[in-house]
Protein backbone atom coordinates (compact mmCIF):
# COMPACT_ATOMS: atom_id res chain seq x y z
CA UNK A 1 0.00 0.00 0.00
CA UNK A 2 2.81 2.41 0.88
CA UNK A 3 4.73 2.17 -2.40
CA UNK A 4 4.50 4.13 -5.64
CA UNK A 5 1.78 6.49 -4.50
CA UNK A 6 3.78 7.71 -1.53
CA UNK A 7 6.82 8.16 -3.70
CA UNK A 8 5.02 10.19 -6.31
CA UNK A 9 3.56 12.62 -3.80
CA UNK A 10 6.98 13.07 -2.25
CA UNK A 11 8.49 13.94 -5.62
CA UNK A 12 5.65 16.37 -6.19
CA UNK A 13 6.72 18.24 -3.07
CA UNK A 14 9.86 20.18 -4.04
CA UNK A 15 10.69 21.02 -0.44
CA UNK A 16 10.58 17.41 0.67
CA UNK A 17 12.71 16.59 -2.34
CA UNK A 18 15.28 19.22 -1.41
CA UNK A 19 15.31 17.96 2.17
CA UNK A 20 15.93 14.40 1.01
CA UNK A 21 18.76 15.52 -1.27
CA UNK A 22 20.29 17.53 1.53
CA UNK A 23 20.02 14.59 3.87
CA UNK A 24 21.70 12.36 1.34
CA UNK A 25 24.30 15.02 0.58
CA UNK A 26 25.05 15.60 4.24
CA UNK A 27 25.37 11.88 4.90
CA UNK A 28 27.92 11.36 2.15
CA UNK A 29 29.83 14.52 3.16
CA UNK A 30 30.18 13.48 6.82
CA UNK A 31 33.38 11.40 6.63
CA UNK A 32 35.34 14.03 4.68
CA UNK A 33 33.96 16.73 6.97
CA UNK A 34 35.65 14.99 9.89
CA UNK A 35 38.92 14.66 7.96
CA UNK A 36 38.81 18.30 6.90
CA UNK A 37 38.13 19.55 10.39
CA UNK A 38 34.73 21.10 9.63
CA UNK A 39 33.33 20.24 13.07
CA UNK A 40 33.72 22.54 16.03
CA UNK A 41 32.48 22.62 19.59
CA UNK A 42 30.54 25.26 21.46
CA UNK A 43 30.48 25.22 25.24
CA UNK A 44 27.55 26.11 27.47
CA UNK A 45 28.27 26.83 31.13
CA UNK A 46 26.87 24.78 33.98
CA UNK A 47 26.07 27.05 36.89
CA UNK A 48 25.71 26.14 40.56
CA UNK A 49 22.24 27.31 41.61
CA UNK A 50 23.26 27.90 45.22
CA UNK A 51 26.08 30.40 44.63
CA UNK A 52 25.90 31.19 40.91
CA UNK A 53 29.43 29.97 40.20
CA UNK A 54 30.37 28.39 36.88
CA UNK A 55 31.23 24.75 37.54
CA UNK A 56 31.85 23.52 34.05
CA UNK A 57 30.38 23.32 30.58
CA UNK A 58 28.61 21.00 28.21
CA UNK A 59 30.31 20.39 24.86
CA UNK A 60 27.87 20.77 21.93
CA UNK A 61 29.12 19.88 18.48
CA UNK A 62 28.44 21.93 15.31
CA UNK A 63 29.32 21.48 11.67
CA UNK A 64 30.62 24.39 9.63
CA UNK A 65 29.43 23.12 6.27
CA UNK A 66 31.14 24.78 3.27
CA UNK A 67 27.78 25.32 1.48
CA UNK A 68 25.11 25.29 4.18
CA UNK A 69 26.90 27.23 6.92
CA UNK A 70 26.70 26.21 10.57
CA UNK A 71 24.52 23.13 11.13
CA UNK A 72 23.26 22.12 14.57
CA UNK A 73 23.67 18.57 15.89
CA UNK A 74 20.01 17.73 15.29
CA UNK A 75 20.75 18.00 11.56
CA UNK A 76 23.65 15.55 11.43
CA UNK A 77 23.98 13.47 14.62
CA UNK A 78 21.10 11.16 13.56
CA UNK A 79 22.82 10.71 10.17
CA UNK A 80 26.17 10.01 11.83
CA UNK A 81 24.48 7.47 14.10
CA UNK A 82 22.89 5.81 11.12
CA UNK A 83 26.19 5.44 9.23
CA UNK A 84 28.38 4.64 12.22
CA UNK A 85 30.44 7.80 11.77
CA UNK A 86 29.25 8.80 15.23
CA UNK A 87 31.98 6.60 16.73
CA UNK A 88 34.97 8.51 15.28
CA UNK A 89 33.05 11.81 15.50
CA UNK A 90 32.17 11.16 19.14
CA UNK A 91 35.78 10.25 19.85
CA UNK A 92 36.88 13.52 18.28
CA UNK A 93 34.38 15.48 20.41
CA UNK A 94 35.67 13.73 23.54
CA UNK A 95 39.30 14.36 22.66
CA UNK A 96 38.80 17.99 21.71
CA UNK A 97 36.67 18.89 24.73
CA UNK A 98 39.04 17.17 27.14
CA UNK A 99 41.92 19.06 25.57
CA UNK A 100 39.87 22.20 26.15
CA UNK A 101 39.18 21.23 29.77
CA UNK A 102 42.93 20.85 30.24
CA UNK A 103 43.50 24.31 28.82
CA UNK A 104 40.86 25.82 31.12
CA UNK A 105 42.46 24.16 34.07
CA UNK A 106 45.92 25.42 33.16
CA UNK A 107 44.78 28.96 32.56
CA UNK A 108 41.98 29.46 35.04
CA UNK A 109 41.59 26.37 37.20
CA UNK A 110 43.12 27.86 40.32
CA UNK A 111 41.21 31.11 39.95
CA UNK A 112 37.62 29.88 39.95
CA UNK A 113 35.84 29.78 43.29
CA UNK A 114 34.68 26.23 42.65
CA UNK A 115 38.01 24.78 41.54
CA UNK A 116 38.78 23.24 38.15
CA UNK A 117 36.09 23.42 35.51
CA UNK A 118 34.40 20.19 34.57
CA UNK A 119 33.46 19.08 31.08
CA UNK A 120 30.22 17.34 30.05
CA UNK A 121 30.24 15.33 26.83
CA UNK A 122 27.24 13.69 25.13
CA UNK A 123 27.48 10.01 24.32
CA UNK A 124 25.23 8.43 21.71
CA UNK A 125 23.87 4.89 22.14
CA UNK A 126 26.16 3.62 19.33
CA UNK A 127 29.21 4.80 21.24
CA UNK A 128 27.93 3.05 24.32
CA UNK A 129 27.81 -0.30 22.59
CA UNK A 130 31.17 0.23 20.83
CA UNK A 131 33.81 -2.00 22.46
CA UNK A 132 36.53 0.70 22.44
CA UNK A 133 34.69 3.18 24.63
CA UNK A 134 36.41 2.59 27.97
CA UNK A 135 39.92 2.27 26.53
CA UNK A 136 39.51 5.30 24.26
CA UNK A 137 38.27 7.40 27.15
CA UNK A 138 41.09 6.31 29.46
CA UNK A 139 43.70 7.02 26.78
CA UNK A 140 42.28 10.42 25.94
CA UNK A 141 42.21 11.43 29.60
CA UNK A 142 45.74 10.17 30.22
CA UNK A 143 47.17 11.82 27.13
CA UNK A 144 45.67 15.14 28.17
CA UNK A 145 46.66 14.69 31.82
CA UNK A 146 43.07 15.27 32.93
CA UNK A 147 41.66 13.42 35.94
CA UNK A 148 38.60 11.23 35.29
CA UNK A 149 36.56 13.19 37.82
CA UNK A 150 36.75 16.28 35.60
CA UNK A 151 34.67 14.43 33.00
CA UNK A 152 30.93 13.81 32.91
CA UNK A 153 29.43 11.65 30.18
CA UNK A 154 25.79 12.38 29.35
CA UNK A 155 23.68 9.44 28.22
CA UNK A 156 20.00 9.85 27.41
CA UNK A 157 17.43 8.15 29.55
CA UNK A 158 15.97 6.48 26.45
CA UNK A 159 19.36 4.94 25.56
CA UNK A 160 19.44 3.20 28.94
CA UNK A 161 15.83 2.06 29.15
CA UNK A 162 15.87 -1.67 29.22
CA UNK A 163 19.67 -1.68 28.95
CA UNK A 164 21.12 -5.06 29.79
CA UNK A 165 24.26 -5.63 31.83
CA UNK A 166 26.51 -5.77 28.76
CA UNK A 167 25.53 -2.22 27.88
CA UNK A 168 25.93 -1.00 31.45
CA UNK A 169 29.31 -2.63 32.06
CA UNK A 170 31.43 0.01 30.27
CA UNK A 171 29.53 2.76 32.06
CA UNK A 172 30.12 1.03 35.39
CA UNK A 173 33.83 0.80 34.70
CA UNK A 174 34.01 4.47 33.80
CA UNK A 175 32.01 5.37 36.92
CA UNK A 176 34.39 3.32 39.08
CA UNK A 177 37.29 5.29 37.62
CA UNK A 178 35.62 8.50 38.77
CA UNK A 179 33.90 9.63 35.57
CA UNK A 180 30.43 11.02 36.32
CA UNK A 181 27.56 9.61 34.31
CA UNK A 182 24.53 11.86 33.82
CA UNK A 183 21.12 10.67 32.72
CA UNK A 184 20.23 13.21 30.01
CA UNK A 185 16.69 14.31 29.05
CA UNK A 186 15.43 12.76 32.27
CA UNK A 187 11.66 12.57 32.56
CA UNK A 188 10.97 12.01 28.87
CA UNK A 189 11.69 8.30 28.68
CA UNK A 190 9.07 6.89 31.04
CA UNK A 191 11.70 4.79 32.75
CA UNK A 192 10.87 2.90 35.86
CA UNK A 193 12.09 5.07 38.70
CA UNK A 194 13.13 2.01 40.70
CA UNK A 195 15.37 1.21 37.73
CA UNK A 196 17.54 4.20 38.63
CA UNK A 197 19.26 2.27 41.39
CA UNK A 198 20.55 -0.22 38.84
CA UNK A 199 22.19 2.45 36.68
CA UNK A 200 25.73 3.74 37.35
CA UNK A 201 24.58 7.38 37.19
CA UNK A 202 25.36 10.16 39.62
CA UNK A 203 23.50 13.04 37.98
CA UNK A 204 19.97 13.47 36.65
CA UNK A 205 19.58 16.06 33.93
CA UNK A 206 15.98 17.13 34.08
CA UNK A 207 14.56 17.65 30.61
CA UNK A 208 13.81 21.14 29.34
CA UNK A 209 10.08 20.40 29.25
CA UNK A 210 9.99 20.61 33.06
CA UNK A 211 11.82 23.92 33.08
CA UNK A 212 9.31 25.31 30.58
CA UNK A 213 6.52 24.78 33.11
CA UNK A 214 8.31 27.22 35.44
CA UNK A 215 8.19 30.14 33.04
CA UNK A 216 5.38 31.92 34.86
CA UNK A 217 5.65 33.07 38.42
CA UNK A 218 4.12 31.41 40.33
CA UNK A 219 4.70 28.26 38.28
CA UNK A 220 2.13 25.62 37.46
CA UNK A 221 1.52 23.86 40.82
CA UNK A 222 1.48 20.40 39.22
CA UNK A 223 4.85 21.02 37.54
CA UNK A 224 6.22 22.22 40.87
CA UNK A 225 5.05 19.04 42.61
CA UNK A 226 6.58 16.80 39.92
CA UNK A 227 9.96 18.52 40.01
CA UNK A 228 9.90 18.57 43.80
CA UNK A 229 9.22 14.83 43.80
CA UNK A 230 12.01 14.09 41.34
CA UNK A 231 14.51 16.18 43.31
CA UNK A 232 13.57 14.47 46.57
CA UNK A 233 13.89 11.04 44.99
CA UNK A 234 17.18 11.92 43.29
CA UNK A 235 18.74 13.28 46.47
CA UNK A 236 17.60 10.27 48.47
CA UNK A 237 19.48 8.12 45.93
CA UNK A 238 22.56 10.41 46.20
CA UNK A 239 22.06 11.82 42.72
CA UNK A 240 22.63 15.47 41.89
CA UNK A 241 20.04 17.27 39.79
CA UNK A 242 20.94 19.48 36.83
CA UNK A 243 18.23 21.43 35.03
CA UNK A 244 18.48 22.47 31.42
CA UNK A 245 16.73 25.12 29.38
CA UNK A 246 16.68 27.81 32.07
CA UNK A 247 15.77 30.97 30.19
CA UNK A 248 14.63 33.39 32.90
CA UNK A 249 15.65 34.48 36.37
CA UNK A 250 12.21 33.44 37.69
CA UNK A 251 12.80 29.88 36.49
CA UNK A 252 16.25 29.80 38.05
CA UNK A 253 14.88 31.03 41.37
CA UNK A 254 12.06 28.49 41.51
CA UNK A 255 14.37 25.64 40.55
CA UNK A 256 16.82 26.75 43.23
CA UNK A 257 14.04 26.77 45.83
CA UNK A 258 13.01 23.29 44.72
CA UNK A 259 16.52 22.10 45.55
CA UNK A 260 17.99 21.58 42.07
CA UNK A 261 21.79 21.68 42.20
CA UNK A 262 23.05 22.93 38.85
CA UNK A 263 21.49 24.80 35.94
CA UNK A 264 22.17 25.41 32.29
CA UNK A 265 20.38 27.66 29.84
CA UNK A 266 20.20 30.88 27.90
CA UNK A 267 19.55 32.86 31.08
CA UNK A 268 23.20 32.25 31.99
CA UNK A 269 24.73 31.90 28.54
CA UNK A 270 24.08 30.46 25.13
CA UNK A 271 26.52 27.85 23.87
CA UNK A 272 29.61 29.71 22.65
CA UNK A 273 33.32 29.51 21.88
CA UNK A 274 35.66 28.34 24.65
CA UNK A 275 36.94 31.88 25.28
CA UNK A 276 33.47 32.85 26.52
CA UNK A 277 33.79 30.34 29.32
CA UNK A 278 37.19 31.77 30.25
CA UNK A 279 35.46 35.13 30.72
CA UNK A 280 32.50 33.75 32.67
CA UNK A 281 34.66 31.71 35.02
CA UNK A 282 36.98 34.66 35.59
CA UNK A 283 34.14 37.08 36.29
CA UNK A 284 32.80 34.51 38.68
CA UNK A 285 36.14 34.16 40.47
CA UNK A 286 36.75 37.85 40.94
CA UNK A 287 33.22 38.44 42.18
CB 158 → Ca ion: shortest distance, Å?
A: 11
Phi-psi region of 56 (alpha: psi -120 to 50; beta: other; left: phi over 0): left
100/122 with CB nearer ligand C2E: 122
80/234 with CB nearer ligand C2E: 80
State the binding partner of 265 from Ca ion, ligand C2E, none, CB within 5 to 8 A by kind: ligand C2E
Note whether 69 binds ligand C2E by CB under 6 A.
no
Number of residues engaging Ca ion in binding (CB under 5 A) = 4
- Binding to ligand C2E by CB under 6 A, coded x per residue (else -) over 232-251, reads ------------xxxx----
Question: What's the rounded Cα separation, in Å, for the pair 100 and 41?
Answer: 10
Which residues, at least 6 apart from 194, have a Cβ–Cβ distance to it below 8 Å?
Answer: none
254/264 with CB nearer Ca ion: 264
Question: What's the rounded Cα separation, in Å, for the pair 108 and 57?
Answer: 14
Question: What's the rounded Cα separation, in Å, for the pair 16 and 36?
Answer: 29
Half-sphere exposure in the Cβ direction for 258 (13 Å, CA)? 32
Phi, psi of 177, deg, nearest 5: -75, -15
245/274 with CB nearer ligand C2E: 245
Site residues for Ca ion, 112-171, by CB under 5 A, read: 122, 154
Question: What's the rounded Cα separation, in Å, for the pair 256 and 248?
Answer: 12
Note whether 103 binds ligand C2E by CB under 6 A.
no
Phi, psi of 152, deg, nearest 5: -125, 125
CB 245 → Ca ion: shortest distance, Å?
A: 8
Q: How far apart are the first and last CA of the chain?
A: 66
Q: Which of 42, 95, 157, 184 binds Ca ion (CB under 5 A)?
A: 184
Q: Which of 5, 12, 66, 74 binds ligand C2E (CB under 6 A)?
A: 74
Cβ atoms of 44 and 246 closer than 8 Å:
no
CB 195 → ligand C2E: shortest distance, Å?
A: 20
Site residues for Ca ion, 206-265, by CB under 5 A, read: none
100/122 with CB nearer Ca ion: 122
Cis bond leading into 218, ω under 30°?
yes
Note whether 116 binds ligand C2E by CB under 6 A.
no
Note whether 124 binds ligand C2E by CB under 6 A.
yes
Phi, psi of 244, deg, nearest 5: -115, 165
**Residues lying near Ca ion in the complex (CB under 5 A):** 122, 154, 184-185
**Residues lying near ligand C2E in the complex (CB under 6 A):** 44, 60-61, 72-74, 77, 90, 93, 122, 124, 154, 184-185, 244-247, 264-266, 271
Amino acid sequence: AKSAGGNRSELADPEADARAITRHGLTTALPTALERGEFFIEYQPLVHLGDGSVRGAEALVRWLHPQHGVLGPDRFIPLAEHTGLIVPLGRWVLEESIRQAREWRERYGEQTTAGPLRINVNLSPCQLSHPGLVQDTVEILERAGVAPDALCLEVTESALIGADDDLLKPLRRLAEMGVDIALDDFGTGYSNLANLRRLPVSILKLDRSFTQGMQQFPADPVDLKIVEGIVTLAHSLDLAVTVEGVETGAQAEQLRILGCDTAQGWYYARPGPPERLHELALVDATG
